[in-house]
Every structure is written in structure tokens, then in C-alpha cells.
Amino acid sequence: MLRAVFCVVFICILANASLLSAQESDHVVKANRIISRANPPITIKVDKRLRYVGKIDFPLKGIARVERFIFVEPDTGQHVRRMVVAQFEGFLPNNNEIYRYKVKTPVVLGGTEYQHNTLFYDDAATGSEEPEAESAKTRAFVTANGYALEKQLMMSRFARVVDEAKRHELILFYFENLSASGNDLATLSRNDQDNPEAKAAAEALLKRALKAFKVRPLPAEKR
């Protein structure tokens, strides 16, 4: 029985790997600029003070493909001060799922609205709870490349569905250490209807995020 279960799991892993390898990437990085030829056709120029660490590419929950491009700004001790992540995600051919969310709190990037939200959270704890998800894989990748990432982070997140079929999405993340805010996690995550500390921190983080990267449409002749 155990051998049969092992074989089924192994076959599923191979199937997902085959689906990923069969899909070529439409996204490359050149001189701190992400060039995306499709889904969507844009460029993302990242502040040159952030170093490109690399890309991680993996299946998510067996139904989607994730490509994460990771940039960090460390101090002299390789301690990460801030991080930018561009996540291109799309459902695999093995399912008929679509992205269903709406843009309720918009921020315009490159002439297009993105759903925006801010999160104050324990990234290390999130990674421990979901070791196969994005946070854990990103933390492991950054650490493996010689950088130290604090446990508690602030995140400014921008997301949109990028195709008519609603099968692909782009999510842009800007991270800073929560310790840099001068507040603790309990204060910033307090579930008040009007939390002045969280509101001020979120507004300041958004302003810094919008200076960390710029989104532009990709000219048709370069697609």
C-alpha cells in the first residue's frame, strides 16, 4: 500500500515538473529591469540600489506556476533592509481555474489599476506554516544566497489579473523590516477600525514602494 502511494506521489511530481518545463518563460532580467513579453507585456525597472538575487520557479499547490524575481538591498553585513519581488503566476493546463478577485483599493502602475493592500506580519511564522508556499521558498532562497532576512516584515502588495481568460496574474511586492517602523507587530496588526499607527506606517510604506520600482508598458515591437 505504501509503495503504491509513493508511486502516485512520484508520478504527480513528475507530471507537474513536465508541465513547468514545457512552458517557456516570457520574463527576463536585464540591468535591473524585468522585461515581460506577455502576461502582461510590461517592463519593471527596479531601483539600482536593490541587487538582483535571482529567480525561483515552482508549482503552487499543483495547479499553478509561479515565477518570482527577487531583488534585495542589504547593509554592509548582508542584512536585508528592503526587498522587491515580482511574481508572475498562471494556472497550469491541468485545470480550468481562473482568478476571481476585484480591484477594490486601486493603485495605478504604468497606466493600469492594481489591487493594493498592506500587511504587517511574521514572515518566518508564515513560512513555517506553509513550507511549500511563496514566503518559505523566498526566505530559503534569499538565505541560501548569503543574506539575512528579519522575521517580521511590512509588505506593500500590488496585484492584477493580466489576461482576458483570467488565467494569469502579476503581483508586485515591496518589503521592509517591521522593526524599521518604530512600532511592534502587536500595535500595527491591532484590529481597530481606525488604527492610526498602522495607517501612518502603511501610507509611508506605499510612498517608498512607489519609488522602489517603476512599471511601463512594453512597446509592441519588443514583444
Instruction: Answer whether 117's CB lies under 8 Å from 157's CB.
Output: yes
**Rounded distance, CA 209 to CA 168, Å?**
23
Q: Which domain holds residue 116?
A: 2-222
- Angle (CA) 168-174-176 rounded to 5° is 150
Provide the pLDDT for residue 24. 73
> Residue 20 pLDDT more than 70?
no
Provide the pLDDT for residue 190. 87
Instruction: Answer whether 28's CB lies under 8 Å from 52's CB.
Output: no
In degrees rounded to 5, what are phi and psi of residue 160? Answer: -155, 150
Please give the share of the chain, as a percent, with pLDDT higher than 70: 89
**Rounded distance, CA 64 to CA 62, Å?**
6
Question: Average of pLDDT values for 15-24?
Answer: 47
Provide the pLDDT for residue 23. 56
**Per-residue model confidence as pLDDT tens digits over 30-80:** 999 999 999 999 999 999 999 999 999 999 999 999 999 999 999 989 999
Instruction: Domain count for the chain, please give it.
Output: 1
**Per-residue model confidence as pLDDT tens digits over 126-157:** 999 999 999 999 999 999 999 999 999 999 99
